[in-house]
Structure 1
Amino acid sequence: MTSMPFFDGRTGQVHFRHWPAAGGAVPTVSLVFLHGLGQHSGQYHRFASAMTASGIDVWAIDHTGHGLSEGDPGVGAPLSDLAADAAALADIALAELPDVPQAVMGHSLGAVTALTVLAHRDHEFASAVLCGIPRSAVEQHGWA
Structure 2
Amino acid sequence: TPIILPTNSAGAGAKLHWHAWLPSETPRAVVLLIHGYAEHLRRYDHVAAVLNAKGLAVYALDHWGHGKSSGTPGFVPAFSAFTDGVEALLAQVKARHPGLPLILIGHSMGGLISATHLLSHQAEYAGAILSGPAIKPAEEPSRLMIFISRLLSRLLPKMGVLGLDANGVSRDPKVVSDYLADPLVYTGKISARLAKEMFEAMHRVQAEARTIRVPMLILHGAEDSLAAPEGSQYLYDHLGSPDKQIKIYPHLFHEIFNEPEREAVLADVTGWIDAHLPKAANP
TM-score w.r.t. the length of structure 1 is 0.89
Q: What is the CA RMSD across the aligned residues, in angstroms?
A: 1.4
Task: Mark the runs of 5 or more structure 2 residues left unpaired by the alignment.
Answer: 137-201, 211-237, 239-283
Does structure 2 retain, via aligned residues, the 8 Å contact 1:65–1:74? Answer: yes
Aligned-residue offset at 1:77: 4.4
Aligned-residue offset at 1:110: 0.6
Partner in structure 2 of residue 139 of structure 1: 206
Partner in structure 2 of residue 76 of structure 1: 76
Question: 1:85-104 counterparts in 2 under 5 A?
Answer: 85-104=85-104
* Residues in 2 aligned to 1:29 and 1:50: alpha-carbon distance in whole angstroms: 14
Does structure 2 retain, via aligned residues, the 8 Å contact 1:64–1:77? Answer: no
* Residues in 2 aligned to 1:51 and 1:73: alpha-carbon distance in whole angstroms: 29
Note the alpha carbon deviations across 1:44-73, whole angstroms, 9 max, x for none: 111111111110100011001111000011
1:6 aligns with 2:2: yes
- SS at 1:104's partner residue? strand
Question: 1:16-95 counterparts in 2 under 5 A?
Answer: 16-21=18-23, 23=24, 25-95=25-95
RCO (CA 8 Å, sep 6+): is it higher in 1 or 2?
1
Note the alpha carbon deviations across 1:101-139, whole angstroms, 9 max, x for none: 011110011111111111001111111011112344342
TM-score w.r.t. the length of structure 2 is 0.47
Note the alpha carbon deviations across 1:15-46, whole angstroms, 9 max, x for none: 1110012x2x1212111111000110011111
* Residues in 2 aligned to 1:107 and 1:86: alpha-carbon distance in whole angstroms: 13
Task: Mark the runs of 5 or more structure 1 residues left unpaired by the alignment.
Answer: none
Aligned-residue offset at 1:81: 1.5
Does structure 2 retain, via aligned residues, the 8 Å contact 1:102–1:124? Answer: yes
* Amino acid corresponding to residue 140 of structure 1 in structure 2: A
* Amino acid corresponding to residue 69 of structure 1 in structure 2: S
More strand by share: 1
Does structure 1 retain, via aligned residues, the 8 Å contact 2:16–2:68? Answer: yes
Matched residue count: 138
* Residues in 2 aligned to 1:32 and 1:77: alpha-carbon distance in whole angstroms: 24
